[in-house]
Each structure stands twice: as structure tokens, then as C-alpha cells.
């Protein structure tokens, strides 16, 4: 039975034109902001200039740190934290996609952290030393995908000491104080990354939907609502990036998908994300593209264990009839429809489509081993329903080839 405590302290300012309120939102928390951005798209679009103008008008000076890469590196986090210390910044703003916002959270915590920030990251067999303090964090998403703007998690790739391991941290102090969410900032996102974001949103809710405990009918409907909304509006945002209504609906779905509300009480695991993190750490593929490959394969594997759950998905999401079908047949039909949807919006659905070259059996075992370096249960399995042994992860990856 459900038993939980829910808390999300992030203030949300949402809607077209909201960027103009950034300075007013930031000024109560600090007067010198470290403004973190990614590869330059916010500068090209003019959004960065508007953000800086709003901040300065509110009396907030700006120190810029650009160049946060996709699948953000721990070394980048360390450099940015050193800059924040040197410049005596008292607030951190992450303006970009999920990578930028995730990095900004860990940067804000690293400024006040005693020790190396790698110690706060999750690794199998070790207890992370979670941060207990952080500079105030403000998030300004420019992509509808990760939902990082309104949660307390961050995914970081360890790239020091000869390692390349994509892992995560989740801590109370990483909740942004304010999320300024302006869907206008997403209209310049290209078709492929819009589509990858759609897949990311859906996968955030399917993880809890399929891996959570039984007896959560209201959360099921929350998750199904997010999925149905994205199935309706996602293709519109992909086909016409200037469709602000579509961008707005997808952006809101992205926030709801991972601000904790849909998953509350489900106690779900994230095996699809864990497997994909290994691929994007090793090959720097877009996270959402990797999920589009791994999720349908994982679904086909897991449906053999819980066919009735996947049959429910097929009926409620795609309106498929159960007449004359057993649960597993119906489940597989629903998974096929989901994969067809991903392909229809331009997502890859096979490892061979990710541009990482020929994949050998030996490489599949390496991917499984790297995944289990991040997270495993007391029996050495990746948590989920079902829990996955190394050989299970390899089988899922084979199914994705």
C-alpha cells in the first residue's frame, strides 16, 4: 500500500514571455549571478541578451560561464564552481537544456561542498556524501525534455581518474528556488532534438508506470495523461517548431513528468535511464535518442514478466482492443505502436541508428557492466520490475540492435 511524503519547494513562473521576469525572480536570492549556458544557442537566439538585461535591470550583476556540454562532465562542474568562488557569486542560474540545468545544480552545491563533488554522486557499493548546502539555484529551460527545472536531481558524467561514468545525485538542496519557464525559448529547437525531448518526457513517466508498486490507480492516470498529451502535441511541435501552443503544452508536460507529482507513492526505479546513461556516457549521443532505442527493447523484455501491466498501457494509451488476445499479445501490440510513434517523429529505435559503429557481443557485456557500476541491489541486479542481472541487460541491448 502507498505510504509517502511529498514536497516540492520550487516556485514556478510559467508561460510565454516569462523570461522578462527573470531579474525580479532572481534578485531576492542574490546580487551576483553565475549564469551558466551550453553550446551557444541561447546567444544566437537573443535569449541570453534578454536574460542579462532583465537581471541587470533588477540590480543583479552577471558572471557568464558557457560551454556546458551534453552529458555534462564533472570536470566542467569543477571549473565552473571555481569561477563562482573566485567571483564571489551568490546565486546560480542554469539557462539551457537538461545538461545545463543539471550541471548548474551540482555547481551550486560544489561551491559550498567540503571535499570533491564526485563524492556526492551515486556509485554502486558506496554511500554518497550528499550536499547539505548550495547557493540558490534558478532554472531557465530552453528545451522541453528533462524536467530538471523543477526537481532535485542531476545527472553528471564522471570524467576524471581515467573514468567515464554517467551517474546522478539527488538531494534536497538541489531543488531550484525558482523555475522561469518560457515556452518561447523552445521554438528554435531543431526537429530532432524536439523529438528526442518528447521521448524523454514519455520515458520519465513510463519508468514509474511500469516499475512502481501495485495499487497506484491515480498515479497511473496522471502518467497516462502526460503520455496522451505528449502523443497529441509532440508531433505538432516537431512538424512546426513555431507552433507556440504545441511548444507550451509539451513544456508543461515535461515539467509535470518529473517534478515528483506523477511518481509520488510509486517507489519506481529507472532501469531504462540507467542503461541509456551508459551509452550516452561512452558515445555522447543525445539522451532522448538513446532512450528511444532502449525503452521499447526494455518494454518487450519486461512485458514477459508483467504482461497485464503492458496490456493496460496498450488499451489506455493506444485504444487497442483486448478481444481475442491474451495479455502478452496485447502488450506487444501496444509496444509496437509506441515504437512506431517514436519512428514517426524521427527518433532512432535501433542501436545501429545511433552512429556508434559496429557493436560486438563483447561490447554489450561491457555496457551492462558499466551500468551496474552505478546502481545495483543487494543481489547485484539493476533495480526495476523485474530486477536485471548483467545477462538481462545484455539481452535487452540485443533486442535493441
6-48 pLDDT, tens digit per residue, is: 999 999 999 999 999 999 999 999 999 999 999 889 999 999 9
**Which set of grid coordinates corresponds to residue 265?**
507513492
For 237, the domain range is 191-400
59-117 per-position pLDDT tens digit: 999 999 999 999 999 999 999 999 999 999 999 999 999 999 999 999 999 999 999 99
**Residue 17: other Cβ atoms inside 10 A:** 9
Do 178 and 245 belong to one domain? no
Residue 198 shares a structural domain with residue 135: no
Same domain? 83 vs 19: yes
Percent of the chain with pLDDT over 90: 97
Residue that terminates a domain, selected from 186, 201, 229: 186
186, 216, 234 — which closes off a domain?
A: 186
Same domain, 274 and 294: yes
Whether residue 289 sits in one domain with residue 141: no
d(CA 368, CA 301): 15
Residue 95: which CATH number?
3.40.50.1970
* DSSP-assigned letter for residue 176: -
pLDDT, position 357: 86
Q: Which residues of 287-307 are buried (b: 16+ CB within 10 A; e: fewer)?
A: bbbbbbbbbbbbbbbbbeebb
Last residue of a domain, one of 186, 217, 242: 186
Q: Is residue 6, in this structure, part of any structural domain at all?
A: no
- Looking at residue 163, what is its pLDDT? 79
Cell numbers placing 248:
507550451
**What is the mean predicted confidence (pLDDT) over 311-317?**
98
Q: Residues 164, 56: one domain?
A: yes
The reply to whether 2 falls in a domain is: no
For residue 80, being part of any structural domain is answered with yes
Q: What is the mean pLDDT of residues 319-323?
A: 96
Q: Are 198 and 234 in contact (CB under 8 A)?
A: yes
DSSP result, 318-361: H----TT--HHHHHHHHHHHHHHHHHHTT---SGGGSS-----H
Looking up residue 276, the CATH number of its domain turns out to be: 1.20.1090.10
pTM attached to this predicted model? 0.96
Question: Quick one: pLDDT band at residue 174, thresholds 50, 70, 90?
Answer: very high
DSSP class per residue in 125-151: TS-----S----EEEEESSSSS-GGGS
Question: Do the domain assignments include residue 351?
Answer: yes
Residue 40 within any structural domain of the chain: yes
Cα–Cα distance measured from residue 282 to residue 276, given in angstroms and rounded to the nearest whole number: 10
CA gap 71, 284 in Å, rounded? 7
Domain count, the chain: 2
Whether residue 132 is contained in a domain is answered as: yes
Same domain flag for 125 and 268: no
What pLDDT band is residue 162 in, cutting at 50, 70 and 90? confident
User: What are the pLDDT digits (tens) for 294-312?
Assistant: 999 999 999 999 999 999 9
CA quadruple 37, 108, 256, 228: dihedral positive or negative?
Answer: positive
Is the domain of 182 the same as that of 283?
A: no
Above 90 in pLDDT, residue 246?
A: yes
The reply to whether 39 and 178 lie within a common domain is yes
* 346 belongs to a structural domain: yes
Question: Is there a single domain that holds both residue 270 and residue 372?
Answer: yes
| Residue 153 DSSP one-character state | E
- DSSP H or E stretch at residue 195: helix 191-211
Residues 108 and 199 in one domain: no
Asked if 368 and 394 sit in the same domain, the reply is yes
Question: DSSP string spanning 76-135?
Answer: HHHHHHHHHHHTT--EEEEEESHHHHHHHHHHHHHTT-SS-GGGGS--TTS-----S---
Q: Which three cell numbers stand for residue 30?
A: 542574490
Do the domain assignments include residue 138?
yes
3-state secondary structure of 52: helix
Amino acid at each position: 500500500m502507498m505510504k509517502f511524503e511529498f514536497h516540492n519547494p520550487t516556485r514556478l513562473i510559467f508561460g510565454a514571455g516569462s523570461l522578462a521576469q527573470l531579474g525580479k525572480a532572481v534578485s531576492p536570492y542574490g546580487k551576483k549571478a553565475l549564469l551558466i549556458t551550453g553550446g551557444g544557442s541561447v546567444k544566437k537566439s537573443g535569449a541570453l541578451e534578454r536574460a542579462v538585461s532583465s537581471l541587470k535591470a533588477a540590480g543583479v550583476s552577471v558572471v557568464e560561464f558557457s560551454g556546458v556540454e551534453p552529458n555534462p562532465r564533472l570536470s566542467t562542474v569543477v571549473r565552473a564552481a571555481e569561477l563562482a568562488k573566485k567571483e564571489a557569486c551568490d546565486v546560480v542560474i542554469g539557462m539551457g537544456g537538461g545538461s545545463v540545468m543539471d550541471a548548474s545544480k551540482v555547481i551550486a552545491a560544489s561551491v559550498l561542498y567540503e571535499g570533491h563533488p564526485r563524492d556526492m554522486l551515486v556509485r554502486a557499493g558506496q554511500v554518497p556524501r550528499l550536499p547539505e548546502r548550495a547557493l540558490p539555484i534558478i532554472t531557465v529551460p530552453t528545451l522541453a525534455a528533462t524536467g530538471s527545472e523543477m526537481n532535485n536531481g542531476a545527472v553528471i558524467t564522471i570524467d576524471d581518474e581515467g573514468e567515464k561514468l554517467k551517474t546522478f545525485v539527488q538531494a534536497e538542496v538541489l531543488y531550484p528556488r525558482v523555475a522561469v519557464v518560457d515556452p518561447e525559448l523552445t521554438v528554435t529547437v531543431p526537429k530532432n532534438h524536439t523529438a528526442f525531448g518528447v521521448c524523454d518526457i514519455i520515458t520519465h513517466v513510463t519508468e514509474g508506470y511500469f516499475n512502481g508498486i501495485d495499487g497506484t490507480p491515480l498515479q497511473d492516470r496522471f502518467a497516462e495523461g502526460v503520455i496522451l498529451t505528449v502523443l497529441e502535441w509532440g508531433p505538432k511541435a516537431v512538424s512546426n517548431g513555431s507552433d507556440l501552443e504545441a511548444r507550451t503544452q509539451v513544456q508543461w508536460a515535461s515539467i509535470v513528468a518529473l517534478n515528483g507529482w506523477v511518481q509520488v507513492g510509486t517507489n519506481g526505479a529507472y532501469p531504462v535511464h540507467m542503461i541509456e546513461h551508459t551509452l550516452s556516457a561512452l558515445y555522447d549521443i543525445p539522451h532522448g535518442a538513446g532512450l528511444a532505442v532502449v525503452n521499447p527493447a526494455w518494454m518487450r523484455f519486461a512485458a514477459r514478466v508483467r504482461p497485464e501491466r503492458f496490456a493496460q498501457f496498450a488499451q489506455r494509451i493506444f485504444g487497442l482492443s483486448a478481444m481475442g488476445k491474451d495479455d502478452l499479445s496485447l502488450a506487444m501490440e501496444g509496444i509496437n505502436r509506441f515504437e512506431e510513434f517514436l519512428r514517426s517523429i524521427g527518433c532512432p529505435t535501433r542501436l545501429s541508428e545511433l552512429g556508434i559503429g559496429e557493436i560486438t557481443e563483447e561490447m554489450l557485456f561491457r555496457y551492462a557492466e558499466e551500468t551496474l557500476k552505478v546502481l545495483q541491489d543487494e543481489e547485484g541486479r539493476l533495480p526495476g520490475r523485474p530486477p536485471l542481472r548483467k545477462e538481462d541487460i545484455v539481452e535487452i541491448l540485443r533486442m535493441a540492435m
